[in-house]
Amino acid sequence: MHHAFLDAYANLNSPITALSARIKLLCWAVMSVALVLCPAWYGIPAIGAATALLWGLARLPLRLAAKRLMQLAPFLVVIALSALFRKDGGILFLALTAKAVLAVLLTLILISTTRFVRILEALRQLHVPVLLVDLLSFMYRYTFVLEDQVLRARRAAEARSSRPVPWRMRWRVFSHILGAVLIRTYERAERVYLAMCARGYHHE
């Protein structure tokens, strides 16, 4: 199976890649907070320029940004749609969309230039709660297992259909696949937790 690893560009020779994971985490946190709190009329252009500079220093391909933004575009637009029902909603909608795009780009710079293991180590060094770090670790490890299950279920559904499937039927098949994957995810989580408890795992 092919996996789109989050840190596929962590081996690039760039100034951002060479930085310590702790420094990158702290910079990401500071810029994310500034992005949330800054006024739209001058804060967004300033952070946008800084993000573009960091992206260039990281030497990441533009197709990576385009691909991820296209994947997340429906969610970003849905989040910002609530602003249209307020006074001056058009301006607020644009501001929320711009902030969401910049937040995605900042996160992409962090996770694309840093091995995920290094990020987890940096979180522990910064005294982030152990339970949260463990959850992030399991999320990263089992994402690829779940991706394999989705791909297998999709191939099985395609193998059973010799004719083009209408869009309405495709949504029905997708809902069945999603339901099966969710059930298997819950069952796997139970088995993993019980196995960890049997080996003495505990958290404070």
| pLDDT digits 0-9 by tens, 158-176 | 776 656 666 666 677 777 7
* 71-97 mean pLDDT: 74
pTM for the model stands at: 0.72
Determine what percent of the chain is predicted with pLDDT higher than 90.
11
Task: Please give the pLDDT value at position 1.
Answer: 45
Q: What element of type H or E holds 12? A: none
Q: How many CB atoms lie within 10 A of CB 91?
A: 13
8 A C-beta contact, residue 133 and residue 120: yes
Distance CA 1, CA 199 (A): 30
| pLDDT digits 0-9 by tens, 11-52 | 788 888 888 899 999 999 999 898 888 876 678 888 889 999
Task: Please give the pLDDT value at position 36.
Answer: 84
